[in-house]
Structure 1
Amino acid sequence: MNEVIKHIDELKSEIMDRWEALHLSTKKEEKEVAMLIGNLESKKTEVDDIIQSKDAKKFFVDGLGLVKSIKEKVSTSCTKFNSIPTFLPGQVTSFNIGSLQNISMKDEIKIMKQFDTEIAHIYYMTAYSEDTLWIADHHILQKVKIEGRSLKVIDKTDIGIFGIALTPSKDLLVVVGGSALKQICDLTGEMTDSKYKVNGFTLSAVHVNADGKVTVGAYSGKVVYPAVGLRRVVIIMDRNGNHESTYEYDSQGNPIFSNIKSITRTKNGNICVVDKISEDSRGRVMILSEKGDVLNIFKGHSEINTDEIPFQPCLVFTAPSDNIVVSSWIPNVHSIYFLNSSGNYIGWFDTSKIGILYPRIFCSTEAGHTYVGCVTHKGSSSKAKIYEVIFL
């Protein structure tokens, strides 16, 4: 509503500016017309004198000169104001005003199952099937199978990792730095360079839609804050690796991103990005439309975030309900945030209330089973846990 009022005020201001310009313009021309009328009255008197004169020379010579003088004086006025502007009402939609929605989220989560892993932190996770997950920290990638209430490691690779995502053909895409995504073939288990490349950039995040489109975050140069003179982009590619869309600047021509750490997409095509903006991991969540419009910027919530506890978003995930879940890096704070698909804040939940500490990454299976991967406290010898949860 504040944005609507702001836009109306801007229209009012523009109308007043235009009216003032019109008033000044017409006022000037009113004076010119008055002078012209006075001049013509004077000429009329001269015409009467000539008509009544019996002097032939005065009639023909002075008369012709007077006609020429009148023609020179009477000219078309030229104003700076061409027309009166007409207000064209725009379409009032939920996109530009907002909408009333029944949000199926009570800011509560229920644990269904708990699993212990063999790694200390789970920064990345994606569902391979209903009972198999890919999980990773920054150096170890594992494929684990759920067997009852335990996990069995069925594949393991030591590799530097900055993100993973599964294609519809079950091949795993891995961000390892560089300009090309690595691909682990589902059939052979072989890792190769994929066809998804961003020449001139270094990859930092990846997401795969259900339709197979691949969305990546990438940067040029080094990671510095602020990223003056450097490029930060989100690129959407089709199944063949062709670049379909690139998002880099807002409608004012300003760079949108600083350091892209995580990406997710919603069912309506919106793009949700975790953007780190400083060395101490402060950041924001950017929500863009498919056309590249910045729909929302989420910077945390006052119930949690203060100067002492800044908003430090970590990863984003689209829940089966199409709401967006945001995890954070905040030490000793075990909270997650919920946004709707347009990036509007819904609420937050302290997962420590149900025993989930340091939640970092979420994923869902095709059947809608949702898992949350956690990290451990710095210096701890414990191993990370995974929970199967449901959102109430």
Structure 2
Amino acid sequence: MALSKPQLGIQSPILCQLCEREPKISWKCLECDLLMCNACKNNIHPKIKTAGEHMILDFKDIGKISSPSKNIGSTSPSSKDPANIDITLVEEYKTNLDGIFHLAISLDGSLWIGNGDHKKGIRLFSSHTGLQKVKCEGNKLKVTSSFNSYISGIAITPGNDLLIATRGSILKQIKSGTNKIIDTVFDLGSGLPSSIHVTRKNKVIVGTYVTEEKSTVVVMNHEGNCENVYGEDQTKGVSFSSTTNITSTSNDHIFVVEELIGNTEGRVFVLGQGNLITIYSGHSVINTVDIPFKPCDLTTTPADNVIVVDFNSNTLHILNSSGQLMTYISTGDKGILTPISIGLAMAGNVCMLYIGCPESESKDAKLYKLNMIGC
């Protein structure tokens, strides 16, 4: 395969340097030093033997960096070939919300979304909501339940109940098929919940506020008994200022989003059995001083990878189960700006990804439905 570079003159368009035909350049491989069209990036470049180790940059971002770096926080890039990981936009939904800050997907395919904010004088099924249950019907969302309640985190249990972190130390729930918020056996004592996650093994993991500047991550079994606490003893190298979202992988690694002081950036802790594995702080190709890494949400894929939503750069960082960056995908290329929440579900053999955003100039927060492959 000849990889030649055409002569560029004032009247000559820049062509893809693989097929030498397509004038629409979308990508640049930093290792090959080649400009590529979208078709060659997906079909030709992966045939290069070491393609899985190459860093491919969106063409419009080339001028934003001086040189590539393969240092990813305290980790190294995964050797898994990222070329087959991609997303395709299926549908865009408008909501009557001012932000989709919380997103969870029920086992029946319905979605729980909301901005988590409580307002006075609002009744059930009103247009405002701290929390809504919706169904996708064509290109519209049908609201089936609405709750005017403060919400700091939501998660689906194996029994398809919705577990809720709200004000107060006791976690709440909405049992499947009901419209009533009730107490659970999960009591944090003096802590207040900031985030919540239910593992595949039915353990409940809760981020808690201890003080204004200190948080912990509490692991409980299904009976509400505490099994582990991270961040309680800083001598173990783990301390959190604020934990905003949590997920886990099948090897029992826990991924925790920490919001740093100022709410302009953050990082992702990867925790093992009582110890810190690594901290992911973004990648220098994606994140700069002007565009710091700001993880807002994360979810685990069927292949046990973790997708981290980066609000500032409109990017999905895809990590393996040890916290190493595999690849990244621009949501901005799909027209999805300022992504702030994420959820994933299987529809047969198809992996469906949902991304929520805050309100835009139209004042209606949007929810996006995408197909995802290779992850």
- On whether the aligned pair clears a TM of 0.5, the verdict is yes
> Radius of gyration: which is bigger?
1
Aligned partner (choices 95, 104, 117) of residue 117 of structure 1: 95
1:188 aligns with 2:168: no
Find the partner of 1:294 among 260, 276, 284.
Answer: 276
Shift of 1:147: 2.0
1:204 deviates by 0.5
> Which amino acid in structure 1 is aligned with residue 303 of structure 2?
S
1:375 aligns with 2:365: no
Residue 111 of structure 2 corresponds to residue 133 of structure 1 = yes
Structure 2 gap ranges (5+): 1-74, 118-129
In the TM superposition, residue 108 of structure 1 has moved relative to its aligned partner by: 2.6
- Note if 1:386 corresponds to 2:368: yes
Taking the aligned partners of 1:306 and 1:250, their CA distance within structure 2 comes to 32
| Partner AA of 2:291 in structure 1 | I
SS at match of 1:369: strand
> In the TM superposition, what is the alpha-carbon distance from 1:99 to its structure 2 partner?
10
| Root mean square deviation of aligned Cα | 2.4
Instruction: Please list the CA deviations of residues 106-155 of structure 1 after superposition, one character each: whole Å capped at 9, or x if unmatched.
Output: 45311233333232321111111343111111222111112233221111
2:207 is paired with a residue of what secondary structure?
Answer: strand
Cα gap change, 1:261/1:135 in structure 2, threshold over 3 Å: closer, same or farther?
same
Tell me the amino acid that sits aligned with residue 204 of structure 1.
S
Residues 77-120 of structure 1: CA deviation (Å, up to 9, x unaligned): xxxxxxxxxxxxxxxxxxxx999753566453112333332323
Aligned pair count reads: 286
Deviates more, 1:197-206 or 1:357-366: 357-366
- Once residues 321 and 228 of structure 2 are traced to their aligned partners in structure 1, the CA distance between those partners, rounded to angstroms, is 20
Kindly provide the amino acid, as one letter, of the partner of residue 295 in structure 2. Answer: P
Distance (whole Å) between structure 2 residues aligned to residue 274 and residue 99 of structure 1: 20
Out of 236, 256, 267, which is 2:250 matched to? 267
Equivalent in the alignment of 1:151 = 141
- Of 85, 93, 102, which residue of structure 1 is paired with 2:80? 102
Higher deviation after alignment, 366-375 or 203-212: 366-375
Q: What are the residue-to-residue correspondences of 1:111-260 with 2, within 5 Å? A: 111-139=89-117, 140-221=130-211, 223=212, 227=213, 230=214, 232-248=215-231, 252-260=235-243
Q: Which has the higher strand share?
A: 2
What letter is aligned with 1:326?
V
Aligned residues with identical type, % of pairs: 32
Could you say which structure has the higher helix fraction? 1
Alpha-carbon offset, residue 329 of structure 1? 3.0
Q: Displacement, 1:245?
A: 1.5
Secondary structure at the aligned position of 1:159 is classed as coil
- Extract structure 1 runs of 4+ deviating beyond 3 A: 97-107, 249-255, 366-369, 376-380
Counterpart in the other structure of 1:11: none
State the one-letter code of the partner of 2:330. D
Deviation at 1:380, TM superposition (A): 4.2
Give the TM-score normalised by the residue count of structure 1.
0.67
Instruction: Describe the shift of the 1:381–1:302 C-alpha distance in structure 2 as closer, same or farther (beyond 3 A).
Output: same
Alpha-carbon distance in structure 1 between the residues aligned to 2:192 and 2:83: 37
Which residue of 2 is the match for residue 38 of structure 1?
none
